[in-house]
A and B are shown apart, each in its own frame.
Chain A
Amino acid sequence: MDPEDLRYTKEHEWVRVEGDTGTIGITFHAQKELGDIVYVDLPKPGTLLQQHKTIGSVESVKAVSDIYTPVSGEVVEVNGSLAESPEILNTDPYGSGWLVKIRLSEPGEAGKLLTAAEYHAFVGTESS
């Protein structure tokens, strides 16, 4: 269920690299653990992000969790529809529920992240 073409982190984020742009989001497992998401706090376009640092937060009825960026770079686009409809993070975490698009400053970073299979194995050990 976790798409093969994405890379993943142990903090339950994903990144899709297309050219020099990375699209990031949270995983299916993350949204399931959080429960119904009610608010998303994201950085503004132009913000410079450093890999594995906090870039915002997601709030569910249960808890508020930090979002860590899987890759470094500059925010070029923010998913504006999340402000009105945070529930798409629950319904479509790998599609319309993307968070931000980043112009990659360190294109090599993504290749070192977890593959779908590695992430799947990690989630398995964490929840057991």
Chain B
Amino acid sequence: MITKVRQHPTQNESLLFETSSPGKIGYQLPALDVPPVDPSEVLGAEYVREEIPDFPEVSEVDVIRHFTRLSTWNYAIDLGLYPLGSCTMKYNPRVNEAVARTEGLMWIHPYQPDALSQGAFAILAELERVLAEITGMDAVTLQPAAGAHGELTGILLVRALLEAQGNPRKRVIVPDSAHGTNPASVRMAGYEVVNVASNDRGMLDTEALARMVDDDVAAIMITNPNTLGVFEEHIIEVARILHSKGALVYMDGANLNALAGISRPGDYGVDLMHLNLHKTFSTPHGGGGPGSGPVAVKKPLEPFLPLPRLQHASSGWSWNYDRPHSIGRVRAFYGNFGVLVRALAYIMAHGGNGLRRATLDALLNANYLRKLLETDYEIAYSAPSMHECVFRHAATGAIAKRLIDYGFHPYTVSFPLIVHGAMMIEPTETESKQELDLFVDALISIAQEVKESPELVQTAPHSTRTNKVDEVAAARKPILKWTR
């Protein structure tokens, strides 16, 4: 049977296990220049095995081709618009990479002496300073390695402060539009989650909130703008309600890219927040990451920040571990340093005015899409959109799949949960009018197809290597192990 019927980039790909041929070796070791040791003598016989069953035997070029071909299956921000709402899939400028690959930064090691790390210290200190300035807060820890890690760190800081005041309290309020990680972080920090409903404008219901806040409430976790892309107009009132009962305001900074350079959470009552450097500050996402979720706090929370903290003396920079009130370590070493370098490169390349301009462009792009799509798609809430817009459509899942046929990555499907059939679209400032127009044309065309040939949309995608996959079967009966 002829299996190779398509050119390389579209060739179906076997697992490495399936391409294995016995005896093939993909490496070559130099001759041993020390006396050989019997591993079973050193390690104990029970830890030594003769062979690893079914370990794939392939050559170097087999492996390179396998992964290179797989990489062509992917969609990336470098290929086109990536409108995954709430994720801020903005372009990762190449200058970030150039800076991070500076020789002294690329080969730096966390165990090298402080005296040889002064430049790295200065980078971290400068990043802390500018993030505090952007958010309007007093101190920043760069250690959390992701957004949700920042959330957990933040709620642990809340607990530490309240404990120091004599009572950690019991509950944290989370709006029903929140990211799912918020209630999870609250639970992990040992608090009960209480939901507060949004009103018909997609904002927090301050009257309902006022009734919920009592002496057992430790904090609210609020996202602003919220996951509907709507600015919480009553944020000052929200902060007043919480503060009047001695509770704190935690802001999920996932959507800081709608505010940076324009308004500062620290100026409207937020006590602490995390930032997603892989969103607002253009560092790579997910597998291309790792992420980074610094936490910014007001003065009263500063003594509790994770260890170690940067300190400066006449002898230069060093780490301070002598902080008795600290919640302790939240991560090995000092955060994802390479990511922090990229974020500072992005901030410095923009400057204050540039960050403000990026924010305004992100808002403009989202509102441009909203205006052009409003005729064919129902907007979920009439309140003004910030950096993203949420529509509703019963066929949101199928429309998203059909977008793949038009050459775009899907938007975020079925989130936020309070919108039935949510289509959450975030273009970011990266996109030009031309790219946005192509996307609008695609979505309007699909709206037409939904009416005229619904089957075509329901069975999408059609242009991909694999047709529509059975997500339900994959979730119910996952096959997680290769067997011969």
Contact = CB atoms under 8 A, between A and B. Distances in A.
The answer to whether A binds B is yes
Count chain B CB atoms within 10 A of each CB in A38, A39, A59, A63 and give the residue with the most: A38
B472 A36 contact: yes
Contacts of B417: 63
A64 interface: yes
A36 B472 CA distance: 7
Nearest to A63: B417
Interface in A8-62: 33, 36, 38-39, 59, 61-62
A59 B478 CA distance: 15
A86 interface: yes
Contacts of A38: 472, 475-476
A87 interface: yes
B414 interface: yes
Contacts of A33: 420
A33 B475 CA distance: 18
B33 interface: no
A87 B476 CA distance: 8
A61 B180 contact: no
Contacts of B180: 64
Contact of A39 (B414, B420, B471, B475): B475
B244 to A, nearest CB: 28
Interface string B178-221: 00100000000000000000000000000000000000000000
Interface in B435-484: 471-472, 475-476
Contacts of A64: 180
Nearest to B420: A33
A86 B472 CA distance: 11
Interface in B403-420: 414, 417, 420
Nearest to B422: A62
Contacts of A87: 472, 476
Contact of B414 (A59, A63, A86): A63
Nearest to A38: B475
Contacts of B420: 33
A57 B476 CA distance: 15
Contacts of B476: 36, 38-39, 86-87
A86 B473 CA distance: 11
Nearest to B471: A61
Nearest to A36: B472
A29 to B, nearest CB: 12
Interface in A55-79: 59, 61-64
A64 B476 CA distance: 14
Count chain A CB atoms within 10 A of each CB in B417, B420, B476 and give the residue with the most: B476
Nearest to B192: A54
B475 A62 contact: no
Nearest to A54: B193
Nearest to B184: A64
A51 B154 CA distance: 32
B340 to A, nearest CB: 32
A54 to B, nearest CB: 9
Contacts of A86: 476
A87 B472 CA distance: 9
Nearest to A33: B420
B472 A62 contact: no
Nearest to B475: A38
Interface in B383-431: 414, 417, 420
Interface string B151-182: 00000000000000000000000000000100
A86 B477 CA distance: 10
A38 B471 CA distance: 10
A55 to B, nearest CB: 15
B165 to A, nearest CB: 29
B183 to A, nearest CB: 10
B180 to A, nearest CB: 7
Count chain B CB atoms within 10 A of each CB in A62, A63, A86, A87 and give the residue with the most: A62
Interface string B65-78: 00000000000000
Count chain B CB atoms within 10 A of each CB in A61, A63, A64 and give the residue with the most: A61
A79 to B, nearest CB: 16
Interface string B319-341: 00000000000000000000000
A17 B135 CA distance: 55
B296 to A, nearest CB: 30
Nearest to A85: B476
A63 B475 CA distance: 12
A107 B1 CA distance: 69
Contacts of B475: 36, 38-39, 59, 61
Contacts of A59: 475
A39 B478 CA distance: 12
Given A33-B420, A39-B475, A86-B476, 17 more contacts: A36-B471, A36-B472, A36-B475, A36-B476, A38-B472, A38-B475, A38-B476, A39-B476, A59-B475, A61-B471, A61-B472, A61-B475, A62-B414, A63-B414, A64-B180, A87-B472, A87-B476
8 contacts: A36-B471, A36-B472, A36-B475, A38-B472, A38-B475, A38-B476, A86-B476, A87-B476
Instruction: List the 5 closest A-B pairs by CB distance, nearest first.
Output: A38-B475, A36-B472, A62-B414, A38-B476, A61-B471
Interface of B: 180, 414, 417, 420, 471-472, 475-476
